[in-house]
Amino acid sequence: MNPKLKLTLTHYLNSTNSTSITFNVPTPHSNSVPFLKTKHFLRFLIRSFFSDFNETVSTRFLHVRHLGLFCLAQNGRARANGLLSYITAYKQQVCAPAVGQFTSKRALCTDKEDKMASMDERFAFIAEWYDANAALIRRYQFLFYTKDNTIEMFDIKNRRVFLKRSKCEGIELRDVFIGASVSIHSRQLKFVDYADDFTRKRLSTRKERTLAMVKPCSTDKVGHIIDMIFSDGLHITKAIMTKVSRAEAQEFYRMHEQKPFYDELVRYLTSGIVIPMELMGENAIQRWRQLAGPTDSAIARSEAPLSVRAKFGKDKQTNAVHGADSPENAERELNFFFAGAPKPNTATLVDCTCCVIKPHAVLAGHAGKIIVAIQEAGFTISALQMFNMDRANAEEFYEVYKGVVAEYTDMVTELISGPSIALEVTGKGGETPASFREFVGPADPEIARHLRPRTLRAIFGTDKIKNAVHCTDLPEDGVLETEYFFRILSQ
Ligand code: ADP
Ligand code: MG
């Protein structure tokens, strides 16, 4: 039998007006009560408590609801005390509810509660959505719960729940980081900041960023290198195939100015195209240095035979890849390539076709293998850039399919669901578009697996929407589509 618990909850509307409510509620036993029942109990409590204050019920409900999560499985008294202390803390901020308020949860936790809270880790971000109809940027507090991969959102300006805690297909913690975009109920959200110190502390090392660069000698190995990066568990969050000028190379390697090999090094870096990439992951700086291997490719072959330089480097200088060596240099080098005016890409826009590695394939770690397959089939990748498409651009790009292909809307949603990699494919003269289309295979991977099992879509596609890559349909559109990415979007 559940004992009755008498709760006196005091709520201060503001400094001059306070209200106290006493009521009896059944108290679930801490350990015998299943999670949901406990949560329902707290919801009931909160609803009862706040039902008098209709004008701002949603805001209050929202703040106290977190309490329900951190008080989980506490005994009734502790829960009541927790609720009271929470409300006291809440009272102090009630006149100016702000983002930080949602984070007061941990400050109120006892040790025991703290342990419990960590079972249900919650990461908080600030996310923005561009509301095209209102021409406004809307800001949300976005919460991610690792225990069950659920999300919850609050509208910051209107101070209300925007999305109740719920599962969102396909979104995992790895997809949520500053700068990333995700699609939630057809809104494309961009994460612009952490919303609390806990998240900042926990994720800033887990989501460390570094600069990796494919050097001119090994751009034909970029597929293998990208594959090694994914296999190591690192994410590529930015990438562009570009060229550096002599002045830029001198600046990039300025710390080696006094070294005897400096001039040669600058000449090497400017001798062809390079592919700088932003990598992200736990200890990304050190991990990428380790994966790259020792500076001298010969030493790499003897001491780290599985490293990138062991596999693709030639000697001391011509060593396949670069990696930033400290957080300061990572920041400087990332800014060098990815801040300010966009670096020029290498698109030729002649006898080319456009290939886009779709977000699902990038997220699944197939991008490297897809690029390897394209290069091994005799095509040249003459431009490459990672994009986070927004809805307006995806709709524009797919416009020719609108009203023609039943999957149009889903295709747009897929294209904006994460990072994609656009490629300018060349190498077979005027035949390139038709030949590449053959190589990619039928739009439906199921059909491709039956009819053309060696095609890209047969190997890497899942279904008609997640069919691994987009490729230009009509040869005459090859240049147009390539231009869309490498002339229009890249600006
Ligand atoms: P890393 O790239 O491993 O951080 P360094 O920062 O010492 O190595 O050197 C920068 C780049 O200069 C190297 O990647 C390599 O291309 C070139 N380099 C380094 N040492 C030599 C050398 N002794 N002779 C010729 N080139 C060198
Ligand atoms: Mg170095």
Rounded mean pLDDT of 259-285? 97
Q: How far is the CA of 323 from the centre of ligand 2 (A)?
A: 7
CB 472 within 8 A of CB 433: yes
State the alpha helices, DSSP H only, in 4-158. Answer: 35-50, 57-70, 76-93, 104-108, 111-119
Q: What are phi and psi of 192, to 5 degrees?
A: -110, -20
Q: How many CA atoms lie within 13 A of 406 on its CB side?
A: 2
Ligand 2 midpoint to CA 279 (Å): 16
- Lowest-confidence region among 97-111, 140-154, 373-387, 451-465: 97-111
Residue with the nearest Cα to atom 1 of ligand 1? 295
pLDDT at 192: 93
Once rounded to an integer, what is the mean pLDDT over residues 86-103?
35
Q: What are phi and psi of 282, to 5 degrees?
A: -65, 125
Give the ligand 1 atom nearest the CA of 292.
3
Would you call 322 a catalytic residue per the annotation? yes
Q: Are residues 256 and 262 in contact, defined by beta-carbon separation less than 8 angstroms?
A: yes
Q: Which residues of 237-252 are buried (b: 16+ CB within 10 A; e: fewer)?
A: bbbbbbbbeeebbbeb
Q: Which ligand number lies closest to the CA of residue 288?
A: 1
- Please, where are the H alpha helices in 356-487? 359-363, 367-376, 391-397, 408-415, 432-440, 445-451, 456-460, 478-483
Q: Are 284 and 208 in contact (CB under 8 A)?
A: yes
Min mean pLDDT across 11-15, 197-201, 463-467 is at: 11-15
pLDDT for the residue numbered 97? 31
- Ligand 1 and 296: CB distance under 6 A: no
Distance 363 CA to ligand 2 centre (A): 29
**Three-class SS state of 284:** helix
Protein residue with its CA nearest to atom 8 in ligand 1: 295
Ligand 2 is an ion; its neighbours by CB within 5 Å are 325
Dihedral of CA 387/392/395/398: which sign? Answer: negative
Structure tokens at 309: 């330089």
| pLDDT tier, 88 (very low <50, low <70, confident <90, very high otherwise) | very low
When pLDDT is averaged across residues 386-406 and rounded to a whole number, the result is 91
DSSP secondary structure letters along 199-264 = HHHHHHHHTEEEEEEE-GGGGGGHHHHHHHHHHTT-EEEEEB-B---HHHHHHHTGGGTTSTTHHH
Nearest CA to ligand 1 atom 16: 317
Which pair of tokens denotes residue 40?
């329902």
Phi, psi torsion values for 31, nearest 5 degrees? -85, -20
On the question of pLDDT at 487 being above 90, the answer is yes
The amino acid at 248: E
- Give the pLDDT confidence score for residue 313 in this predicted structure: 98
CA-closest residue to ligand 1 atom 14: 295
| Low-confidence winner among 32-46, 156-170, 200-214 (lowest mean pLDDT) | 32-46
Q: Is 299 in the pocket of ligand 1 (CB under 6 A)?
A: no
Q: Whose CA is nearest to atom 15 of ligand 1?
A: 317
> Which ligand is the nearest neighbour of the Cα of 294?
1
Tell me if 440 sits within 8 A of 469, measured CB to CB. Answer: yes
Give the Cα separation of 383 and 371 in Å (integer). Answer: 12
The pLDDT, as a whole number, for residue 132 is: 84
Q: Residue 427's pLDDT band (boundaries 50, 70, 90)?
A: very high
More confident residue, 108 or 219: 219
Residue 261 beta carbon below 6 angstroms from any ligand 1 atom: yes
In 464-484, which positions are buried (b, 16+ CB within 10 angstroms) versus exposed (e)?
bbbbbbbbbeebebbbebbbb
For tokens 């961009």, the residue is: 190
Query: What spatial distance separates the first Cα and last Cα of the chain, rounded to whole Å?
Result: 68
Give the mean pLDDT of 70-75. Answer: 31
For residues 344 and 486, what is the distance between their CA atoms, to the nearest angstrom? 9
Q: What are the structural domains of the chain? A: 4-118 (no CATH), 121-203 (2.30.29.170), 208-338 (3.30.70.141), 353-489 (3.30.70.141)
Mean of pLDDT values over 220-243? 97
Instruction: List CB contacts of 66: < 8 A, sequence separation 6 or more.
Output: 102, 105
Quick check: 283 pLDDT over 80?
A: yes
356 in Cβ contact with 423 (< 8 Å): yes
At residue 270, the pLDDT reads 98
pTM score, two decimals?
0.74
For residues 412 and 25, give the distance between their C-alpha atoms in angstroms, rounded to a whole number.
Answer: 50
Which pLDDT belongs to residue 53?
32
Q: Which residue's C-alpha comes closest to atom 25 of ligand 1?
A: 317
C-alpha distances out from residue 396 to 77, 116, 349, Å: 58, 48, 20
* Nearest-ligand number for the alpha carbon of 329: 2
CB 233 within 8 A of CB 223: no
What atom in ligand 1 is closest to the CA of residue 294? 3
- 158-162, 263-267, 446-450: segment of lowest average pLDDT: 158-162
pLDDT value, residue 297? 98
Marked catalytic residue, from 66, 322, 366, 470: 322
Question: Does the beta carbon of 295 lie inside 6 Å of ligand 1?
Answer: yes
The reply to whether ligand 1 has any atom less than 6 angstroms from the CB of 322 is yes
Confidence of residue 421 (pLDDT cuts 50, 70, 90): very high
Alpha-carbon span 69 to 441, nearest angstrom? 49
Q: Per-residue pLDDT for 42 more than 80?
A: no
Q: Probe ligand 1: pick from 265, 266, 312, max atoms within 8 Å of CB?
A: 265
> Mean of the pLDDT values across residues 461-468?
96
Higher pLDDT, 48 or 121: 121
pLDDT over 90 percentage in the chain:
63
Amino acid at 95: C
Q: Round to whole Å and give the CA distance between 268 and 318.
A: 8
**Nearest ligand to residue 319 Cα:** 1
Compute the distance from residue 297 Cα to the ligand 2 centre, in Å.
14
Looking at residue 168, its pLDDT comes to 85
**Mean pLDDT for the chain?**
81
pLDDT score of 185: 84
Sheet bearing 380-387, strands edge to edge:
380-387, 420-426, 353-357, 469-471
Give me ligand 1 centre to Cα 316, in Å.
7
